[in-house]
Structure 1
Amino acid sequence: MTKDPNTEGLAEFQQLVEGITPLPQDKRHFRPAVKTRQQLLEKVVQLQATSYFSDIYQPLLPVNGAMRWCREDVDAMELKRLRRGDYTPELLLDLHGYRQTEAKLEIASLIEACIREHLLCCSVMHGHGSGILKQQVPLWLAQHPQIKAFHQAPREWGGDAAILVLVDIGDHPHRR
């Protein structure tokens, strides 16, 4: 009669591990930390800023005169009202000293704040400076789907160093 080789190995193994106690197991689960509401909102704004604002896209903007733009489905009279000062900006964004990437995020945050607070008009002050933000801000605003129109601000709101923006907040019954 032959012995089963598996039982021989098992007996030897049991002799070798006799008296050894097992190590205690940690019951830690490495899950990602729960994010706060503020962190989630910041992530949404960052995603929107990167998806809406392209540095390559060049919308058709005027070369001469004041910087202005109106979405195709919006009445041209809205642009005229914006130019005349019928809309007063309720939120102001000052971009002095910001880099382009930071300015994109701030503009996206401003638009989201206008929609959340049901505000029709806001102002973006880009300043004169080297002219980089003065060139880029209108290009970014023309790409955002929630922007109805924008026009160079009148003198009391910053003149050619600022832009008044008309935001599409949708059809809300409690519109201001």
Structure 2
Amino acid sequence: MSKNEKLSAEEKALFRGLMSGTRQLSQDTIVHKPPRKKFNQVPVKRLLSEQMDASHYFSDEFQPLLASEGAVRYVRSDVSHYELKKLRRGDFTPEIFLDLHGLTQKQAKQELGALIAACRREHIFCASVMHGHGKHILKQQTPLWLAQHPWVMAFHQAPKLFGGDAALLVLIEVEEWLPPELP
């Protein structure tokens, strides 16, 4: 029976006859609560400010001294070279991936800043940045930008499994997680 069909007078009388002597149930066991706001979502305004704050480290004019021979690599002076070796061997598995294909340099800087901020916020230690081959603009600029950021501990050309020479594995310094204090 569709909603548009009307009941005949005979059907209505039959229904009323069957329902005579019944009483309406009171619903007292289920209380519908309004849906709660999720607290683990970060407000959009905060995300945008983190993205802009983290991307201001990247300059096109500053040229850090990177190894010119072999694979693209960098290790901060206070970090062990063994970490770089582990990156090269593929001992670290990236937990987050950033694809820069098709982005302008400005967009790529902002996305790199957002990636680093997200890694620190989510306590992610290793990330993969896929810059691709293309015209080699992002391939050349991405390592220069990453070497300037104070939270980047090291990066190395990714193993074949994670993109080979079209990607970088990046180690990011994260704050040590402490459980919240109980009152």
Coarse TM-score class (shorter-chain normalised) = 0.7 to 0.9
In the alignment, structure 1 residue 43 sits paired with structure 2 residue 46: no
Partners in 1 of 2:63 and 2:105 — Cα distance? 16
Alpha-carbon distance, 1:70 to partner: 0.1
Fraction of identical pairs, as percent: 56
Partners in 2 of 1:150 and 1:42 — Cα distance? 25
What is the aligned partner in structure 1 of residue 162 from structure 2?
157
Q: Which string of whole-angstrom CA distances, capped at 9 and with x for unpartnered residues, describes residues 82-130 of structure 1? A: 1111100000000000000000000011111111111110000000000
Question: In structure 2, which of residues 120, 125, 139 is the aligned counterpart of residue 120 of structure 1?
Answer: 125
Partners in 1 of 2:97 and 2:50 — Cα distance? 21
Question: In structure 1, which of residues 111, 130, 135 is the aligned counterpart of residue 135 of structure 2?
Answer: 130
2:132 counterpart letter in structure 1: G
Q: Which has the larger radius of gyration?
A: 1
Partners in 2 of 1:104 and 1:157 — Cα distance? 21
What is the TM-score normalised by the length of structure 1? 0.75
Question: In structure 1, which of residues 163, 172, 175 is the aligned counterpart of residue 177 of structure 2?
Answer: 172
Q: How many residues are paired up?
A: 138
Alpha-carbon distance, 1:38 to partner: 1.0
Alpha-carbon distance, 1:63 to partner: 1.1
> Helix, strand or coil for the counterpart of 2:70?
coil
> Helix, strand or coil for the counterpart of 1:57?
coil
Partners in 1 of 2:139 and 2:126 — Cα distance? 19
Calculate the aligned-residue CA RMSD, in Å: 1.5
Gap runs ≥5 in structure 2: 1-41
